[in-house]
Chain A
Amino acid sequence: MSENKHITVPFQREDIEKLKAGDYVYLTGTIYSARDAAHKRMYDAIKEAEAKDMSVSELSGTELYDRKILPFDITGNTIYYLGPTPAKEGQVIGSAGPTTSTRMDKYTPLILDKGLIGMIGKGKRSKEVVDAIIRNKAVYFAAVGGAGALLSKCIKESEVIAYDDLGTEAVRKMSVENFPAIVVIDSEGNNLYETAVSDYLNNRQ
């Protein structure tokens, strides 16, 4: 386990390259929530726009947002794979732990190619996603699965900014403070899920 690092989000490019698989970090700043249905909607919106107009495929994340194809500017931003429980009165958000990232794999390479650079979730990623992480110098974090009450305390503000009709799956803009996460796949493609188990078993000998 590497030293604890305090990181500001959205990331500075140089911060991304310093993050290594196995680093335990605390994130502070702005992140966005999106899970299955929001990913499908963003992906379909890009694909439909491309089908109508070939030149759309050349657009950046910022341009896609300017043209209202995407609901927020993903450029340089971080998505937290989250569908929270409803907030009670006086709460910012309900229980707010990560969902399994693997289900987003179909949509993720395109979203990364359009400028997203951070993802927080839990669980394995496909080879296509790892390739897209390396290609775009992005980073994938795991938060502790099943610690939704604990993690909710790190979310200081939350506002639904798109796809309100999706309920828990809507896109939220969230302000986080010292949100604990572990770098699982770094910008060079090093994958903690592949090394942690064998490292543990070797050290135990």
Chain B
Amino acid sequence: MRTIHTQEIIKNVKEMCIEANLHLSEDMEQAVRSSVETEDSQLGKKILNQLCENLDIAASDEIPICQDTGMAVLFVNIGQDVHIEGMSITDAINEGVRQGYTEGFLRKSVVKDPLIRENTKDNTPAIIHYDIVPGENIEITIAPKGFGSENMSRVFMLKPADGEEGVKAAVLSAVKDAGPNACPPVFVGVGLGGDFELAAKLAKKALTRKAGTHSTLSHIARIEEELLEAINNTGIGPGGLGGRTTALAVNIETYATHIAGMPLAVNMCCHVNRHVTRTL
């Protein structure tokens, strides 16, 4: 049994909110930068170069990469041998988000009620997904999610008979419908299987995968590659203004599902695929 105090959680969440919004992880940054070389549209290249320049300015001047600094989405894996001391862990995470977004000059983009729409003015509450895992650590991933791309995400309740072709057609249709709105080049997170809500959660989690890596399942890895190729042949391109670089990755996470169904969720993420993971 290991004890972790919630003050430590607050401090780390605060720092992670700021870090995620100012700097892309090395793998994500590399994915954006290397796309300039393979882009064959002149305007597309120009836009990708602007994105690279934007990353430079964000880092050097400490300005958020994108003005939509997102809703704070967290994946929290709590070791079953951890004792948490202090306040409630949810309150601690929200306090970290509050401090990070306020002290880090990040945008407060959260409204308390979906219809009344009054801004909470501190970007809380966060969206927190907890998992209990073996061990005595707490692993926290923060993925601030912008809504330009979130709004273009979809859930499809496919039938088993739709098969691999149905999966590909659905993902492709989501990317085409998103077009310029999701700020291409995009990362496409796909959740396949489980049930209605698990598919969506898997799709979001898929976006946190290291760029340049594939599913460990060979048939899924193949579909990821084939889908990426198909998406980059749509011609949507950077900014939706024509070009090859429409997506930088397609990441698919799967789970067991019911004999009668094949849930599929597509979570779109713009080129600013921010996430930071720390283990406490």
Q: Do A and B come from one complex?
A: yes
Is A83 interfacial (CB-CB < 8 Å)? yes
Is B148 interfacial (CB-CB < 8 Å)? yes
Contact between chains at B57 and A123 (CB < 8 Å): no
Nearest opposing residue in chain B for A142, CB measure: B239
Contact between chains at A122 and B119 (CB < 8 Å): no
Known contacts A97-B67, A192-B241; is-contact A146 B105 (Cβ 8 Å): no
Known contacts A124-B180, A193-B240, A204-B40; is-contact A145 B107 (Cβ 8 Å): no
Q: Can you list 16 pairs linking A and B with CB atoms under 8 Å apart?
A: A1-B46, A85-B63, A85-B69, A94-B67, A94-B105, A123-B179, A144-B50, A145-B183, A145-B239, A146-B66, A148-B67, A149-B64, A166-B119, A193-B240, A196-B240, A197-B240
Known contacts A97-B67, A124-B179, A167-B121; is-contact A150 B50 (Cβ 8 Å): yes
Kindly list chain B residues whose C-beta atoms are within 8 Å of the C-beta of A85: 63-64, 67, 69, 105-107
| 6 further interface pairs, Cβ-Cβ under 8 Å (given A148-B58, A200-B44) | A1-B43, A147-B53, A148-B64, A148-B67, A150-B50, A167-B119
Instruction: Name A134-191 residues within 8 Å CB distance of B.
Output: 142, 144-150, 152-153, 166-169, 180, 182
Residue from B47, B53, B63, B181 whose CB has the most chain A CB atoms within 10 Å: B63
Q: Tell me the total A-B contact number using a CB cutoff of 8 A.
A: 153
Kindly list chain B residues whose C-beta atoms are within 8 Å of the C-beta of A54: none
Is B271 interfacial (CB-CB < 8 Å)? yes
Residue from B42, B119, B148 whose CB has the most chain A CB atoms within 10 Å: B148
Residue from A85, A145, A167, A196 whose CB has the most chain B CB atoms within 10 Å: A145
Bound: A88/B109 CA distance, A? 18
Is A3 interfacial (CB-CB < 8 Å)? no
Kindly list chain A residues whose C-beta atoms are within 8 Å of the C-beta of B65: 95, 146, 148-149
Instruction: Name B75-134 residues within 8 Å CB distance of A.
Output: 105-109, 117, 119, 121
B223-247 Cβ-contact flags toward A at 8 Å (1 or 0):
0000000000011110111110000
Contact between chains at A150 and B240 (CB < 8 Å): no
Is A77 interfacial (CB-CB < 8 Å)? no
Interchain nearest-CB distance for B42 vs A (Å): 5
Interchain nearest-CB distance for A4 vs B (Å): 10
Contact between chains at B271 and A146 (CB < 8 Å): yes
Contact between chains at B63 and A97 (CB < 8 Å): no
Is B51 interfacial (CB-CB < 8 Å)? yes
Is B279 interfacial (CB-CB < 8 Å)? no
Kindly list chain A residues whose C-beta atoms are within 8 Å of the C-beta of B105: 85-88, 94
Is A57 interfacial (CB-CB < 8 Å)? no
Is B7 interfacial (CB-CB < 8 Å)? no
Contact between chains at B67 and A123 (CB < 8 Å): no
Contact between chains at B242 and A199 (CB < 8 Å): yes
What secondary structure prevails in chain A residues at the interface with B?
Answer: mixed
Contact between chains at B241 and A196 (CB < 8 Å): yes
- Which residues in A have some Cβ–Cβ distance to B below 8 Å? 1, 24, 37, 82-88, 91, 94-97, 99-100, 102, 122-124, 142, 144-150, 152-153, 166-169, 180, 182, 192-193, 196-201, 204
> Contact check: which of A96, A168, A200, A204 meets B109 at CB < 8 Å?
A168
Kindly list chain A residues whose C-beta atoms are within 8 Å of the C-beta of B46: 1, 24
Bound: A87/B107 CA distance, A? 10
Contact between chains at B236 and A150 (CB < 8 Å): no
Kindly list chain A residues whose C-beta atoms are within 8 Å of the C-beta of B236: 197
Nearest opposing residue in chain B for A148, CB measure: B67
Nearest opposing residue in chain A for B272, CB measure: A146
Bound: A198/B240 CA distance, A? 11
Residue from B47, B57, B242 whose CB has the most chain A CB atoms within 10 Å: B242
Bound: A198/B41 CA distance, A? 12
Residue from A95, A166, A182, A199 whose CB has the most chain B CB atoms within 10 Å: A95
